[in-house]
Amino acid sequence: MPQPGGEGPSAAAGPSPPRTLGAVLLEPDAENEVAYELCQLLGRAILPIRPAGDGPVGTAFFLHHPTGEYLLTAADVLAYADVAEIGLRPSVTEPTGVAADALALPCGWWVHRPEGGVAVLPAGGLHDRAVREGWRWRTQSVPDAIAAGADDVARIGAEPVSAIVLALGVRDDGSRPLEVAVERVVRAADGLRLTGELPAGYLGAPVFGVQADVAGEVGLRCLGVVLPGEGGHPVATLDRVVTDLG
């Protein structure tokens, strides 16, 4: 279920050990510990996003790839309007009070990947815009070292394993708090799938799996992007999303 998150100082998520035994189902206390650490490490990787008009609000996140930095979200978030707004929380920009509350981005700037349900935006233009307006981004991209590859995805089978979703929820007053949802992910006929229903605001958010190495040490993998669904949510896996980046 969703839990409120906190944001800590900037930190880099280091690479996990190269050899793994497979995805695991953690005890509840261990899941909560991993969720807390995830907020500290990558709480500033995510941004709120909404179409300028009707349509689902969602979450976007920064991913660092060898070819550059990208902003990812679910394509459905961008399917209902010509412009989408990404919110600028105070923690993701500096100096304080210079950046606007939101940036309006034409939906046509995003590269849509219909086969995966994901939209991708190269982040270089976002950094250039910040420089022109007199501020800087202070974000924490999901590092390439923990982006799931095809082997990581293949280790997830029909038995549920732990999955953690890092997102910006939606409160009654419209505010977007940082939240984590501890869920279960399984392999389904159409790929990976989260078994639980997620609240508003989670569309496009990153999904993290937990894998154990030969010594029993736990490491995170960013499995992919939350997509819309009924009776759960498909996950667009990163091994497919990043294939054509660059």
Q: What is the pLDDT of residues 51-107, one digit of tens each?
A: 887 778 999 999 999 999 999 999 988 877 899 999 999 999 999 999 999 999 998
Choose the final residue of a domain: 89, 116, 137: 137
- pLDDT tens digits for range 14-42: 333 333 345 666 677 778 888 888 999 99
Ordered alpha helix ranges (H), the chain: 28-42, 124-133, 150-154, 238-241
User: Is residue 239 located within the same domain as residue 149?
Assistant: yes
Residue 55 CB neighbours (<10 A): 16
User: Is residue 153 located within the same domain as residue 201?
Assistant: yes
User: Is residue 109 located within the same domain as residue 161?
Assistant: no
| Confidence bin at 11 (pLDDT 50/70/90) | very low
User: Is residue 12 located within the same domain as residue 79?
Assistant: no
List, in order, residues 6 or more apart from 208 with CB less than 8 Å away.
38, 146, 163, 164, 165, 166, 220, 221, 222, 223
User: Is residue 109 located within the same domain as residue 31?
Assistant: no
User: Is residue 110 located within the same domain as residue 188?
Assistant: no
Choose the final residue of a domain: 137, 155, 176: 137
The confidence score (pLDDT) of residue 42 equals 94
User: Is residue 34 located within the same domain as residue 96?
Assistant: no
- pLDDT tens digits for range 172-211: 998 999 999 999 999 988 789 999 999 999 999 999 998 7
Choose the final residue of a domain: 137, 166, 182: 137
The confidence score (pLDDT) of residue 3 equals 53
User: Is residue 26 located within the same domain as residue 67?
Assistant: no
User: Is residue 114 located within the same domain as residue 150?
Assistant: no
User: Is residue 128 located within the same domain as residue 91?
Assistant: yes
* C-beta separation of 235 from 116 below 8 A: no
Number of domain units in the chain = 2
Residue with the larger pLDDT of the pair 214 and 34: 34
The confidence score (pLDDT) of residue 78 equals 85
Taking alpha carbons only, the member of 227, 236, 70 closest to residue 153 is 236
Residue with the larger pLDDT of the pair 214 and 161: 161
User: Is residue 33 located within the same domain as residue 83?
Assistant: no
Looking at this protein, which amino acid is placed at residue 84?
A: A
The confidence score (pLDDT) of residue 31 equals 80
User: Is residue 27 located within the same domain as residue 67?
Assistant: no
Q: What are phi and psi of 102, to 5 degrees?
A: -155, 155
CATH number at residue 71: 2.40.10
Domain extent, residue 198, equals: 2-43+145-244
What's the rounded Cα separation, in Å, for the pair 36 and 127? 28
- pLDDT tens digits for range 122-168: 999 999 999 999 999 999 999 999 999 999 999 899 999 899 999 99
* C-beta separation of 180 from 2 below 8 A: yes
Taking alpha carbons only, the member of 44, 36, 46, 43 closest to residue 74 is 46
Residue 13 has pLDDT above 50, yes or no: no
Strands of 118-122's sheet in order across? 102-106, 83-87, 46-51, 58-65, 68-74, 118-122, 111-113
The confidence score (pLDDT) of residue 9 equals 32
